[in-house]
Homo-oligomer: A and B are copies of this chain.
Amino acid sequence: MIGLGYRSGYEIKQAVESSIRFFWTISQAQIYPSLDRLADERLVTGRSEPSGRRARRVYSLTASGRAALRAWLADGEELPFELRDVGLLKLFFADALPDAEAADLLDAVLRRSREMVETLRVIEPAAREADEEGNGYPLLTLELGIAFHEAMVSTCARFAARREKEGTGT
């Protein structure tokens, strides 16, 4: 994030929330110790840059920091897909529930993805701008998020429709 121009801990946290939060999160408490550690390893350098009397510390990547970033991005490590989602977990076990309550759960999962799509569409203009400035991958990951959740929505909707038809039939 520092490499993309986000300078302070506070800014980094905001950038995370408005860009990669679809597939990664960090807590505020995690940021400042991490920045300290990176500075110890000379991967970033920080200097104090208060705005008025308000304390503020801004960081930039060192040459070795940028190299480490590239090395990590291209290290060829396995990328095991690991999703941890209570919504889908509950849905898996929904047969243990009376039909009406299972339908509510399904609906909650569907609405959630619908909302995610809307949220992501809001970020889209910013991502398109970044794309024009030579940063095309944020737009790709955004499109990935949208495609993902649209697939969820249509699959849930199809299932719900099927269930409803069966329900009416009996």
A residues near B (Cβ < 8 Å) are 3-4, 19-20, 22-25, 66, 69-70, 72-74, 76-77, 79, 81-97, 101-102, 104-106, 108-109, 112-113, 116, 134-138, 140-141, 143-144, 147-148, 150-152, 154-156, 159, 163
Contact = CB atoms under 8 A, between A and B. Distances in A.
Contacts of A23: 83-85, 88-89, 92
Nearest to A147: B151
A146 to B, nearest CB: 8
A63 to B, nearest CB: 13
B156 A91 contact: no
B108 A79 contact: yes
Given A83-B83, A135-B95, A143 B155 contact: yes
A159 B143 contact: yes
Contacts of A91: 137, 140-141, 144
Given A79-B85, A88-B141, A95-B138, 18 more contacts: A3-B93, A19-B92, A20-B88, A22-B83, A23-B89, A23-B92, A66-B96, A70-B96, A73-B105, A74-B104, A81-B112, A83-B84, A88-B144, A91-B137, A91-B140, A94-B137, A143-B159, A147-B151
Contacts of A144: 88, 91, 151-152, 155-156
A82 B85 CA distance: 6
Most chain B CB neighbours (cut-off 10 Å) among A83, A86, A134: A83
A112 B25 contact: no
